[in-house]
């Protein structure tokens, strides 16, 4: 069932709590984990909602010398709005919009001398999944010499900074292919830079995937595949951003035990400030992203629904008591009995809830999780 995916949308959480925002300065090591100033490579000035300790508002990243590296905006812990990333020399690297952590709409990419490299149109999703790639098309592309190789969605496109691959995920590779009327067309080759060996070759016709040949780490023919494998336009900023969004800590500076503490304890250890959350919605103790990842890994598409190509979004309600235990799981809105049962089954597997707080007191509450079953060829 590798050709088919189970997509999980973000949590719908019902609450009337108010925001309590504060601008916070944090220091990061080279891996973008929170550290102390004397160990730092970067620092960030950002706005947090202290009711849930999620990024909410403007965010700016700097080198220790004060050079601006990124500026963007968040809404309730997710990238939403305009983002701009900079080279160390101050030139713009890329800029565009995020919507719910996905690149969305038109993005512009530049070489480090300020010359335009490409204009890419991302067709963002509202769903969150962990296997599919951001759908995109390239509108314009220029090589380093300034020659335009792709115009109005037609021409040759080259991505010279790919590390992904089925057998070799570390070495640098170059992807070269054709767009015709904004659709992938013809042969697309992934070639390893250091020895010029072919790693992967995919074939398209007017945007439709036809087939592919794959090669092992030594460049020897391995076989064919019936689906796209290579993420042709990976978000090079995602690893850094995802790390900072998780409030990841440098355990060479902070004790490892702190990783398992509540967010108020972590916040005090990192900032030296004490803040008690007064109002928050219930949620997964390790964050929404990790919850969605857990659900994605543990959900099985029911065979009967798969064979009948039944799809749809199942809404599952979870009642979380004042101690953070699951009190009840119930169907809010179903699609088909098999999908409904599977969605409820996997949600029941979740432990480690944080109870809702109201005026500083833990209370029982309900959150609703939409589970979107979708078959994608």
Q: What is the mean pLDDT of residues 260-289?
A: 80
Pairing of strands 102-110, 54-63: unpaired
- Identify the residue with better confidence: 350 or 289: 350
Q: Name the band, by pLDDT with cuts 50, 70 and 90, for residue 5.
A: very low
What percent of the chain stands above pLDDT 70? 91
Q: Which of 190-199, 241-250, 253-262 has the lowest mean pLDDT?
A: 253-262
Residue 230 has pLDDT above 70, yes or no: yes
For residue range 43-73, list pLDDT tens digits in order.
999 999 887 778 999 999 999 999 999 999 9
Domain covering 1-17+279-377 assigned CATH 3.40.50.300 in the classification: no
DSSP 251: T
Give the model's pLDDT for residue 125: 59
Residues, the chain, total? Answer: 377
Give the model's pLDDT for residue 13: 41
Distance CA 67, CA 27 (A): 14
Q: Name the band, by pLDDT with cuts 50, 70 and 90, for residue 126.
A: very low
pTM: predicted TM-score of the whole model, two decimal places: 0.74
Q: Name the band, by pLDDT with cuts 50, 70 and 90, for residue 240.
A: very high
Residue 299 has pLDDT above 50, yes or no: yes
DSSP 240: H
Residue 286 has pLDDT above 90, yes or no: no
164 phi and psi angles, rounded to 5 deg: -65, 155
Distance CA 9, CA 12 (A): 9
- Ordered by start, the domain boundaries in the chain are 1-17+279-377, 18-134+236-276, 135-234
Mean pLDDT of the chain: 87
263 phi and psi angles, rounded to 5 deg: -65, -30
Residue 124 has pLDDT above 80, yes or no: no
14: helix, strand or coil: coil
Distance CA 44, CA 69 (A): 10
Residue written as token pair 């769903």: 127
Residue 130 has pLDDT above 50, yes or no: no
Alpha carbon of residue 294 to chain centroid: 14
For residue range 15-28, list pLDDT tens digits in order.
334 456 789 999 99
Residue written as token pair 């509202």: 126
DSSP 324: S
Q: What is the mean pLDDT of residues 180-205?
A: 94
Distance CA 339, CA 334 (A): 8
Residue written as token pair 């992938």: 184
Distance CA 163, CA 17 (A): 43
Give the model's pLDDT for residue 257: 87
For residue range 133-156, list pLDDT tens digits in order.
778 999 999 999 999 999 999 999
Q: Which of 234-248, 286-300, 347-361 has the lowest mean pLDDT?
A: 286-300
């Amino acid at each position: 069932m590798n050709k088919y995916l189970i997509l999980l949308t973000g949590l719908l959480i019902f609450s009337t709590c108010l925001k309590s925002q504060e601008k916070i300065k944090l220091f990061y090591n080279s891996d973008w984990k929170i550290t102390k100033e004397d160990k730092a490579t970067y620092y960030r000035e950002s706005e947090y909602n202290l009711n849930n300790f999620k990024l909410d508002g403007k965010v700016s990243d700097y080198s220790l010398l004060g050079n601006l590296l990124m500026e963007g905006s968040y809404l309730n812990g997710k990238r939403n709005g305009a983002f701009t990333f900079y080279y160390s020399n101050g030139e713009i690297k890329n800029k565009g919009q995020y919507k719910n952590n996905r690149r969305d709409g038109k993005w512009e990419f530049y070489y480090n001398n300020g010359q335009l490299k490409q204009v890419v149109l991302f067709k963002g999703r509202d769903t969150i999944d962990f296997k599919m790639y951001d759908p995109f098309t390239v509108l314009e592309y220029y090589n380093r010499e300034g020659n335009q190789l792709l115009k109005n969605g037609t021409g040759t496109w080259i991505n010279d900074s790919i590390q992904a691959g089925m057998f070799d995920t570390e070495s640098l590779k170059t992807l070269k292919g054709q767009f015709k009327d904004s659709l992938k067309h013809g042969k697309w080759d992934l070639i390893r830079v250091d020895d010029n060996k072919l790693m992967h070759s995919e074939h398209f016709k007017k945007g439709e995937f036809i087939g592919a040949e794959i090669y092992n780490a030594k460049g020897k023919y391995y076989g064919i595949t019936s689906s796209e494998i290579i993420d042709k336009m990976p978000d090079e900023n995602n690893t850094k951003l995802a790390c900072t969004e998780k409030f990841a800590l440098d355990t060479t500076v902070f004790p490892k035990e702190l990783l398992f503490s509540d967010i108020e304890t972590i916040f005090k250890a990192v900032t030296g400030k004490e803040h008690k959350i007064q109002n928050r919605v219930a949620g997964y103790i390790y964050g929404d992203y990790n919850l969605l990842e857990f659900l994605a890994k543990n959900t099985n598409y029911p065979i009967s629904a798969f064979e009948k190509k039944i799809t749809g979004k199942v809404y599952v309600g979870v009642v979380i008591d004042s101690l953070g235990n699951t009190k009840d799981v119930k169907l809010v809105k179903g699609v088909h009995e098999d999908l409904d049962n599977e969605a409820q089954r996997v949600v029941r597997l979740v432990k480690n809830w944080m109870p809702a707080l109201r005026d500083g007191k833990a209370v029982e509450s309900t959150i609703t999780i939409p589970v979107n079953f979708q078959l994608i060829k």
